[in-house]
Amino acid sequence: MQTINTSYRSLSFLFDLNWDRLLFAGALVGSLWLGSVVGGL
């Protein structure tokens, strides 16, 4: 149980540090997808 709790805290800490990078990557993928949909019309 302690291992699960420790890994959860470290994942939460990494997410707190890198949420803006994840948001940027998601926006990039979303814009590429939207561009391909619009270009395919």
What pLDDT was estimated at residue 39?
Answer: 94
What pLDDT was estimated at residue 24?
Answer: 92
**Higher-scoring residue by pLDDT: 3, 20:** 20
- pLDDT digit string, tens, across residues 12-40: 877 777 778 888 999 999 999 999 999 99
Q: What are phi and psi of 40, to 5 degrees?
A: -80, -10
Q: Which amino acid is at 13?
A: F
* DSSP state at residue 23: H
- Residue whose C-alpha is closest to residue 10's, from 22, 23, 18, 20: 18
What pLDDT was estimated at residue 3?
Answer: 67
The residues, any chain, with a CB within 8 Å of residue 22's CB and separated by 6 or more, are: 15
CA atoms in the 13 A half-sphere facing the CB of 6: 3
What pLDDT was estimated at residue 18?
Answer: 76
